[in-house]
Chain A
Amino acid sequence: MTSGFMDDNPYFRITAEDVTLKVPAGFPRPLYNFKTNRLTPEIFTLGRTLFYDKLLSKDNSVSCGSCHQRIAAFAHIDHALSHGIYAKIGTRNVPALQNLIWKDAYMWDGGVNNLEIQPLSPITNPIEMDETLENVISKLKHDKKYVMLFQNAFHDTIIDSKRLLQSIAQFTGLMISGGSRYDRFLEGKDTFSGSEMNGLKLFRSKCENCHKEPLFTNNSYRNNGLKPDPSLKDEGRAKITGKEEDRYRFQVPGLRNIEMTYPYMHDGRFQKLRDVVNHYSNPKNFDNRADRSLQKIGYLTDREKDELVAFLLTLTDKAFLYDRRFADPDFQ
């Protein structure tokens, strides 16, 4: 089996330029700033290798990349709920990995407070990778490839959890999407059709409350009217805060690349964007805990729904989806 990193393939080689943090125009200051995790090509490369390595799972069958697919902005295409180790099915939809450094908390319930430690959750979850940190570190220490990668990255022989986690954070932290048609339109570099323009106006009047530009989320936890799936028993944010009012509230996701991140919602119940729009324009069907701000969406005509969907499709950022830095060099 060839090892991608050994090949001197310039396509996969990470340069200093590749790991320069570039904040898209109009974006606020990142909340995670790499100050105590200085970006280098070698550490980023180590992070990329770990992200795509099934060694992180107990039986070496599941990697981060198994569920976080580049083509889907690192969501899981066509999977409402994903299957982890031993074909176990989870209770939540895989979120996209993009613009993570602008989030103040991770996971649908916001239970993770720092980008670096997020991988601990899937690694140790018995239905995702079912591994222990101790075993992972041990596997890495006994793998010549990793001894070399860690040595290259950190210039000594120490392999520990901090380096493991920080290197993955360099990889995921640089997944930044700010180059969609919508962005280029706002910069005056592209045009919108009439439908797309109307869609943008509708979006701003009805969705902006939670899906605030330019990140398309205000990082809050809301009940968006979905009736809970009784088979999942997922109370969302309440599990983290213990507060009654947080029951059935979930983190507002960003909407960039939404064309590729189907199915939609925390439990992946909607296959199509049209289903999402239909849900929001049908308040009679809302759960009684639905956020008040949803009231102002109101009834939408078919045409308005088409326009909203047309606008959402402009959030696709091909430069990000095909960014060579995030490709798996070992993909056969």
Chain B
Amino acid sequence: MQNNILKLSFCLGISILVLSFTLRIHHPCTEQHKVTIQFRHFAGMEALILDSAVYNNDLGQSFRITKLKYYISNIHLIREKGGDLEVNSSFLIDDRDEKTKKITISSVPEGSYSSMEFILGVDSLHNCNGAQSGALDPINGMFWAWNSGYVFLKLEGKSPSSTSPGNMLEYHIGGYKSPNNCIRKIKIAFPGKLIIDTELRSNSIELKADILEILKTPVSIDFSKLSSVTDFHNSTTIADNYQDMFSLLNIRSEN
């Protein structure tokens, strides 16, 4: 009986090996299909420049930005015929570090993609998973020790209208538990489709992240009244604002 099971397992093993080689021969390009997502930071129509550039919020209050960091997680590329590509990991985007603004997704299956989705923030599972590394390493300064959970977005700067010491603006938004859940699902429709087929192309999706949107729609932030958010007070106000901070700039598919 044991002998037969051994023989069966051996045959099964060989079959799987042969099958996997066969599959590879039929689809040699699967592993080579990449899509890059490039984030470009703006303040309205102007490219975001930290420290020196002066911008105006919706109420005409001037300000500068000294920090922009945020988590993007669980990117889904929605395929027309179903079988979406899901990349269920987190990326930390830091305006001061150019390379973090480019996310490369490998092994994209062939198909026609009509839209993408991702969350701004870190999902509740990963907020509870304990010590993690990489983008979710607490050494990145995006984790609250006193109330476990990731800081989903940090926007810091200065404004003469701010009533905080040093005229500081400090928006640290986090929290994954209702009623202070600041995770926001972002949906980006593609006006034209993103086609991944057997042709080798360089595919890139360029997204605009507009920091002015963090400070408005639906609520225009008045720096003289709200220059600092560092716990659940007013956090969802900012989260509801940043819900619409992303838009599509361009989809490029070049040979």
Give me the interface of A with B, judged by CB distance under 8 Å.
36-37, 111-117, 120-121, 123-125, 133-134, 137, 160-162, 164-166, 169, 239-242
Binding site for A on B (CB under 8 A): 127-133, 137-139, 143, 145-149, 177, 179-180, 232-233
Report if A242-B232 is in contact (Cβ < 8 Å); known contacts: A111-B148, A117-B148. Answer: yes
Determine if A120 and B180 form an interchain contact, defined as CB atoms under 8 angstroms apart.
Answer: no
Give the interface SS of chain B, mostly helix, strand, loop or mixed: loop
The reply to whether B139 and A113 contact each other, CB–CB distance below 8 Å, is no
CB <8 Å contact, B146 and A134: no
Cβ-Cβ contact count across A and B, 8 Å cutoff: 66
B residues in contact with A161, CB < 8 Å: 131, 133, 137-139
Complex A-B: 8 CB contacts under 8 Å: A111-B148, A112-B148, A113-B148, A114-B131, A120-B145, A133-B139, A164-B131, A165-B131
A239 / chain B contacts, CB cutoff of 8 Å: 147
Contact present for B180 and A169 (CB under 8 Å): no
Chain A residues with Cβ below 8 Å from B133 are: 160-162
Query: Which 3 residue pairs are nearest across A and B when measured between Cβ atoms?
Result: A116-B130, A114-B130, A165-B131
User: Could you tell me the distance in whole angstroms from the C-beta of A157 to the nearest C-beta in chain B?
Assistant: 15
Asked whether, in the complex, the Cβ of B131 is within 8 Å of the Cβ of A169, the reply is yes
Bound: A280/B201 CA distance, A: 74
Contact residues of A: prevailing secondary structure? helix
Q: How far is the CB of A13 from chain B (nearest CB, A)?
A: 26
Complex-state Cα separation, A262 to B133, whole angstroms: 38
> A162, B132: Cβ atoms under 8 Å?
yes
A321 to chain B, nearest CB (A): 28
Question: In whole Å, how far is B178's beta carbon from the nearest beta carbon of chain A?
Answer: 10
Of the candidates B127, B139, B146, which one forms a contact with A121 in the assembled complex, judged by CB atoms under 8 Å apart? B146
In whole angstroms, how far apart are the Cα atoms of A36 and B129 in the complex?
10
Residues from chain A with a CB closer than 8 A to the CB of B128 are 113-114
Residues of B within 8 A of A117 (CB): 130-131, 138, 143, 145, 148
- Report Cα–Cα, A120/B147, bound state, in Å: 11
| CB <8 Å contact, B180 and A133 | no
Contact call B148/A114, Cβ cutoff below 8 A: yes
Q: Which residues of A contact B131 (CB under 8 A)?
A: 114, 116-117, 161-162, 164-166, 169
Q: Which residues of A contact B143 (CB under 8 A)?
A: 117, 120
Shortest CB distance A326–B (Å): 21
Complex Cα–Cα for A5 and B29 (A): 54
Distance in Å from the Cβ of A237 to the closest Cβ of chain B? Answer: 11
- Interface centre among B138, B139, B149, by most A CB within 10 Å? B139
Q: Chain B contacts of A113 at CB under 8 A?
A: 127-128, 148-149
Asked if A114 and B147 make an inter-chain contact with CB atoms under 8 angstroms apart, the answer reads: no
Which of A36, A115, A124, A161 counts the most chain B CB atoms within 10 A?
A161
